[in-house]
Amino acid sequence: MAAFAANSLLCRAALSDTLRAAHIDPASFGAIRVTSGALVLACAMRLRSRPAAAPDWRAAVMLFAYVAAFSFAYLTLPAGTGALILFGAVQLTMFAAGLARGERFALAGWAGLALAAAGLVVLVLPGVAAPPPGGAALMAVAGAAWGAYSLRGRGVPDPLAATASNFLLALPLALLLGAVFVARAHADVAGVLLAIASGALTSGLGYVIWYAALRGLSALQAASVQLSVPVIAACGGTLWLDEAFTPRLAVAVVAILGGIALVLTDRARGRIGPGTGHRAS
């Protein structure tokens, strides 16, 4: 979750144009992000003797859709509004899939989810304005794509091989997107470095860790745990972007992390229904 939060911070830093021109355009950011992730994961695979994963074009398309829509959405959306739309879409996607498979929480799990969701609302709602429809639609697409990508990764036997394959297959799509918007392309050194950091570290290696973690989580739990990302990002902003740690943020931290603890405790007591560990079709 810390890697996902870092992705938001890196993307905002690269694409933000509130005070000055953005360091890089969103298509170039996405292309460099996927390219650097693919290169790092390919190098990691060369250090191993195990075979590559079978191609999963659905996962690759979902990965590309998330990266592209996420980048373009943050051109027009404020951070709080974007987080609310993104994780709302992730929740709906993964909860619908989990419930369809028969996964259930007991009372403590649902209470934890409600508490975490309330914390998320406390974190972002006071600063939310009516979002631009184009940016809102793109962020909803990003959330649905990320939720679907996460579902594809549940139960994969080799998270590193699967993620490396997904990035490699998504690479032509990302480069094509960059070519389509080449007339609007611009980047300075800072923008390129931010995109590389996002792709190589917080995306490439971060997604390997996420795929590995998914093997021990149900779809409902995986959706709930991701509610921690906005609050981690907000706390990161106070540490590295000189943003204030407000009482509202403190309340959100307690509510979200406490709610997630209840959700995970609910699983530990064996109250999650069937469905854990099966790959999405």
Pick from 65, 231, 226: which is nearest to 140 by CA? 65
Please write the tens of the pLDDT for every residue from 196-205.
999 999 998 8
The rounded mean pLDDT for the chain is 79
86 vs 16, which has greater pLDDT? Answer: 86
pLDDT at 93 > cutoff 60: yes
Please write the tens of the pLDDT for every residue from 64-77.
999 999 999 878 77
Distance of alpha carbon 131 from alpha carbon 268, whole angstroms = 39
Task: Please state the φ and ψ torsions of residue 21, each to the nearest 5 degrees.
Answer: -60, 145
From residue 21, give the alpha-carbon distance in Å to each of 24, 43, 194, 224, 257: 9, 34, 15, 36, 36
Task: Please state the φ and ψ torsions of residue 232, each to the nearest 5 degrees.
Answer: -65, -40
Residue 80: what pLDDT? 60
Distance of alpha carbon 176 from alpha carbon 180, whole angstroms = 6
Distance of alpha carbon 127 from alpha carbon 177, whole angstroms = 32
Residue 133: what pLDDT? 81
Provide the pLDDT confidence category of residue 156 given band limits of 50, 70 and 90: confident
Rounded to 10 deg, the angle between the 57-73 and 159-180 helix axes is 50
**Residues 16, 19, 24, CA angle at the centre, nearest 5°?**
35
DSSP code per residue over 18-34? SSS--SB-HHHHHHHHH
Provide the pLDDT confidence category of residue 32 given band limits of 50, 70 and 90: very high
Distance of alpha carbon 217 from alpha carbon 277, whole angstroms = 7
Residue 151: what pLDDT? 87
Averaged over 111-128, what is the pLDDT?
70
pLDDT at 281 > cutoff 60: no
Q: What tokens were used for 97?
A: 């899939």
Residue 269: what pLDDT? 45
pTM given for the model: 0.79
Please write the tens of the pLDDT for every residue from 106-117.
777 777 777 777
Provide the pLDDT confidence category of residue 244 given band limits of 50, 70 and 90: low
